[in-house]
Structure 1
Amino acid sequence: MKKFLLIMSALILQGCTGLPDNVEPVKDFELNRYLGQWYEIARLDHSFERGLSQVTAEYSLKPDGGVKVINRGYNAAKQKWKEAEGKAYFVNGADEAYLKVSFFGPFYGAYVVFGLDKQAYQYAFVSGPDTDYLWLLARTPTLSPEVIKQFVEMASARGFDTDNLIYVEQKAEVKQ
């Protein structure tokens, strides 16, 4: 019975780090260029970010070779900042933008960069383990309409419900 539970637990946890159909991670990914602060431009709604504006993600190297993740957002209804710290590790290799990320305990979810400004690393299209999780990130609080259109088209073609995207209110300078 213990063996069965262990196998089932492993399968369930593996399912959270899988790739959505039709989503391919960016190849020739350069983590050092991806590190730093990103602004959330758009997302699909989910409970852990519901009601947040001015959302940012900060990525930095951990001593063990992983990535430290700090997500922040402002809850206007409560008039306070919400912050979550997590960790991420590459699933297949450091040159593929496919990571597993955890914000609590041993439970990981997929973090897949499937679109990226590879020249300047100024925007990224990010998926979770399935089509319920989608983000558009940028180095600046705003993006051009052309990039947003490209994001919507690419995400829609991969099965994401882009009609339900939330466009995140950002300030020019996020104060915390």
Structure 2
Amino acid sequence: MRIVLNTLIAAAFISFAVQAEAANYRDRSVSMAVQAGLDLKKYLGKWYEIARFPNRFERGCVGVTAEYSMRADGDVRVLNTCRKGTLNGKVEVADGSARVEAPGRLSVNFVPWLPFARGDYWVLYVASDYSLAVVGSPKGTTGWILARTPRISAKERAKAEGVLSKNGYDVRELEDVLQK
């Protein structure tokens, strides 16, 4: 019991320390607006990561995809896949779950034995045909442009960056994600 408790305490400190050192890409004085009327069923499926704000857990990742599916318990399964370094690099997978907290606002967890280690995943925009999405977090430490295809048009990119800017993000900090 003591070992389990010590492990949980250590994990909590590590979690808080990592959050404290994470970069902030967003002016938090700007209110965030989530996608009104997000249809979670239409959002499910495979998404390609087009661009992201740098973060520790995706360092060196290319060819990143996220696949969302419903779980029997009503939560959403989140299966993130990346290739390390190159498109032919070692495949790494993160399997987690997301819970709907409010319309357009989800929380994700990739550490099931640490249930309080949830991260905000707010859908800021989704195209009417669910081909493009913009995701962020109120803390501004993460943010993504996602698409159903590995590439998007300049018009779609401008739309996505406009959504991020409107929500206080500094889009100059975005990094493109190499895709096939």
TM beyond 0.5: yes
SS at match of 1:121: coil
Contact 2:32/2:138 (CA < 8 Å) preserved in 1?
Answer: no
Contact 2:62/2:82 (CA < 8 Å) preserved in 1?
Answer: yes
For the pair 1:57 / 2:66, whether they are aligned, the reply is yes
Q: Tell me the amino acid that sits aligned with residue 102 of structure 1.
A: N
The root-mean-square deviation of aligned C-alpha atoms, in Å, is: 1.9
1:23-34 superposed matches below 5 A: 23-34=32-43
Give the TM-score of the pair, scaled to structure 1. Answer: 0.80
Contact 1:55/1:73 (CA < 8 Å) preserved in 2?
Answer: yes
Partner of 2:105 in structure 1? 98
Partner of 1:111 in structure 2? 121
For the pair 1:128 / 2:137, whether they are aligned, the reply is yes
CA distance in 2, matches of 1:154, 1:25: 10
Q: Tell me the amino acid that sits aligned with residue 101 of structure 1.
A: V
Q: Which residue of 77, 81, 89 maps to 2:91?
A: 81
CA distance in 2, matches of 1:159, 1:34: 24
Q: Which runs of 5+ in 2 are unaligned?
A: 1-11, 17-27
Deviations, residues 102-124 of structure 1 (Å, cap 9, x unaligned): 01121111110011102x10010
CA distance in 2, matches of 1:85, 1:129: 23
Identity within the alignment, %: 36
Partner of 1:4 in structure 2? none
State the number of aligned residues.
Answer: 151
CA distance in 2, matches of 1:111, 1:35: 14
List structure 1 runs of 4+ shifted beyond 3 angstroms.
none
CA distance in 2, matches of 1:37, 1:157: 26
SS at match of 1:91: strand
Q: Which runs of 5+ in 1 are unaligned?
A: 1-8, 13-19, 172-176
Contact 1:73/1:82 (CA < 8 Å) preserved in 2?
Answer: yes
CA distance in 2, matches of 1:140, 1:35: 14
1:3-82 superposed matches below 5 A: 21-76=30-85, 79-82=89-92
CA distance in 1, matches of 2:132, 2:108: 19
Q: Tell me the amino acid that sits aligned with residue 72 of structure 1.
A: T
CA distance in 2, matches of 1:103, 1:170: 24
Give the TM-score of the pair, scaled to structure 2. Answer: 0.78
